[in-house]
Structure 1
Amino acid sequence: MKLTEWTMEEQEQLIHFMTTNTWPYHGNSHPARELIEKTIEEGGYQSDEVKTFWVENEESEQVGIVKIYDLQDEIPLFDLRIADEARGRGYGPSALKLLAEYVFQLPEAKIRLEGHTRQDNFAMRKTFERAGFVKEAQLRQAWFSPKESSYYDAVTYGMTREDFIKGTATPVKWDDVFHPIEISNKERPFSEEFYTDRLIIRAPKIDDAEIVWKAVIASHDALKEWMPWAQSKQTLEQTTTNLRQAVADFITRKDLRLHLFLKETGEFIGASGLHRIDWDVRKFEIGYWIDSRFEGKGLMTEAVERITKFAFEELYANRVEIRCDSENVRSRSVAERLDYTLEGTLRHDSLSADGKKLRDTCIYAKIKGAAL
């Protein structure tokens, strides 16, 4: 892996990279071409103060960018961005290690290198720690999110020149009295991949798009009866757009889609996840669909059982629901086989998937203490 300095001749590659990936923890999660062009023109990617590097993997593929700010100061800052489809592969920590090596070998003898992120950006925080950076500060309500029109805490990570040379990560010693801060359940780190006897269950990735699309197309007739989103056949582009949003929502904990794969063959067999999340109540709703070619093998029941366990054990759920059309016998049977309690049927509560008829909704649930 290596860092390759970006040049002005690569404007189109940079614009494409910035506009086709999602940046849920940045002020602008979907920057427009015009904004990137203006930033380039104003020296925002290359100047005496700024240098930008491509993050290239072993196959020389451009999997990310890292931009160093304030190069004329003794304490430069940086911004690291990894492409959607390349996340979760260890590129972030490797890139930060290479960046530290570059900065601390500059002739100006930089004192330290630091970066900032939103408190709930767990992937970036893990990247900092794996690269040898130390958490040095938490700034309350210092990070504004325009999309959500709300403030979040910001955290600062740093690496000193001394630690870089010694290969150490010296923790901060606080002189004042330390009072532990209670971490909300939304902010707790949790597994993004877990298993059953036959399945791998994991967070969605952008490069799942084609296999998801093929499964949806193969199962279109079955899905159309129950899923509003399956009323017309999706294109690969539509599936990719939807998946990109799912990845962003997973990162920000708004919705936790999960993809299901056979352990033995690696085949994609369907999707599930935890939706309509209320983090204050700690309430989740499990949804699911399966590729028709894998029906009748008990795979979805196996997946939902494990996801239920995940919700109660790792997300500290108080309540998990399964809601489905009263006529959706297959979906109801999953809930009943797993001993979910039918709490009621809401009459004329929703429209059919095609929007033409009134339907009843069954509500199944498990609650904390009587869950497993």
Structure 2
Amino acid sequence: MDSPPSSIPALTHPGVIWAHSLAPEVRVPLTLVTERLRLVPAEVCYAEALACALNASYTLHREFLAWSQPHWTLEQAAESLELAARDFFRCGAEKRYLVLPRNGAPEIVGCIGLMPGPTANEDFEIGYWANQRHAGQGLMKEALAALLVLLEGQSLYLTTASANTASQRLAKAVGFTQVETLQAVEPDGSDSFVFRRH
């Protein structure tokens, strides 16, 4: 198992940051830049790139993501991004970051969601998916590691299907540890694993 990076240099945009109103010490920049990537909030202008990424990744996603579908239209992608953009600054709503190439290529590498707990004492839930075209290049690990450095000290968890070994490897690579098995909770009756990072 890879050990988590001790520090990932993340350049922050000098502009707006959001803070969980119930946990004001948790402050995350609006955008992050890593060696190869940019993490930006969801915006409708990325609808075409999102539809392309999701359509290219259906075979990767269909077993593990309940919302996966064989074909996303431009309108469906735009609607999803519009909702995510609205939620980004809403207290208690998911903060969804699109992972883009730093070189400005018009494509989406993946997505990371951060769901604040309903109270200041509850954990944040992390979720993520990768564009199949960029799988296996260490890009999602780089993006997650950069975001997690900024959430140091915050209790985080994620769940993954027991059959989703790629997601489990990624969770472990950025410092999560499996702590629980939820039996027969997946749509196909299989188990889910709960991972935590403190």
TM-score by length of 1: 0.45
CA contact (8 A) 2:55 2:70 kept: no
State the distance in 2 between where 1:236 and 1:337 align: 34
Which residue among 14, 17, 38 is the counterpart of 1:200? Answer: 38
Residues 321 and 196 of structure 1: CA distance in aligned 2, closer, same or farther (over 3 Å):
same
Cα distance in 1 for residues equivalent to 2:193 and 2:146:
22
Partner residue in 2 for 1:347 = 183
- From 85, 92, 98, the equivalent of 1:259 is 98
Q: Which of 142, 148, 151 is the equivalent residue of 1:302?
A: 142
1:358 to 189, 192, 198: 189
Structure 2: give runs of 5+ residues left out of the alignment. 1-14
Please tell me the residue identity of whatever aligns with 2:145: E
Match of residue 12 from structure 2: none
Deviations 1:7-50 (A, max 9, x none): xxxxxxxxxxxxxxxxxxxxxxxxxxxxxxxxxxxxxxxxxxxx
The equivalent of 1:30 in structure 2 is none
Alignment-derived partner of residue 334 in structure 1: 170
Matches of 2:119 and 2:151, distance apart in 1: 12
Paired residue for 1:285? Answer: 125
Cα drift, residue 297 of structure 1: 0.6
Query: For residues 337 and 187 of structure 1, do their structure 2 counterparts lie closer, same or farther at Cα, with a shift above 3 Å needed?
Result: closer
> C-alpha distance in 1, partners of 2:87/2:45?
16
The letter for the 2-side match of 1:258 is Y
Amino acid at match of 2:181: T
C-alpha contact 1:255 1:277 (8 A) present in aligned 2 = no
How far off its partner does 1:192 sit? 0.6
Structure with the bigger RCO (C-alpha within 8 Å, sep 6+) is: 2
Note the alpha carbon deviations across 1:290-349, whole angstroms, 9 max, x for none: 11111111111111111222223xxx62x1112100110100000122231110111112
Write out aligned runs for 1:162-177 (5 A). none
C-alpha contact 2:87 2:94 (8 A) present in aligned 1: yes
What is the aligned partner in structure 1 of residue 60 from structure 2? 222
2:78 is aligned to: 240
One-letter identity of the residue aligned with 1:291: N
Indicate how the Cα distance of structure 1 residues 320 and 223 shifts in structure 2: closer, same or farther if over 3 A, else same: same
Amino acid at match of 1:259: L
Q: Is the 8 A contact 2:99 2:112 kept in 1?
A: yes
- Paired residue secondary structure (1:228): coil
Whichever residue aligns with residue 87 of structure 2, its letter is D
Q: Give SS of 1:258's match.
A: strand
- How many pairs are equivalent? 179
Give, in whole Å, the separation in 1 of the partners of 2:141 and 2:25: 29
Q: CA deviation at 1:189?
A: 5.8
> 2:28–2:150: 8 Å Cα contact kept in structure 1?
no
Give CA deviations for 1:254-278 in whole Å, capped at 9, x if unaligned: 1100010111343421111212633
Aligned counterparts of 1:189 and 1:259: Cα–Cα separation in 2: 18
Task: Tell me: CA distance 1:281–1:363, structure 2 relative to 1, closer, same or farther (3 Å).
Answer: same
- Cα deviation 1:46-75 (Å, max 9, x = unaligned): xxxxxxxxxxxxxxxxxxxxxxxxxxxxxx
Query: Computing the radius of gyration over CA atoms, which structure comes out larger, 1 or 2?
Result: 1
Q: Which amino acid aligns with 2:131?
A: D
Q: How does 1:47-58 map to 2 (within 5 A)?
A: none
Correspondences of 1:85-104 after superposition (within 5 Å): none
Provide the rounded CA distance (Å) in 1 between the counterparts of 2:181 and 2:26: 34
Q: Alpha carbons of 1:204 and 1:330: their partners in 2 closer, same or farther (altered >3 Å)?
A: same
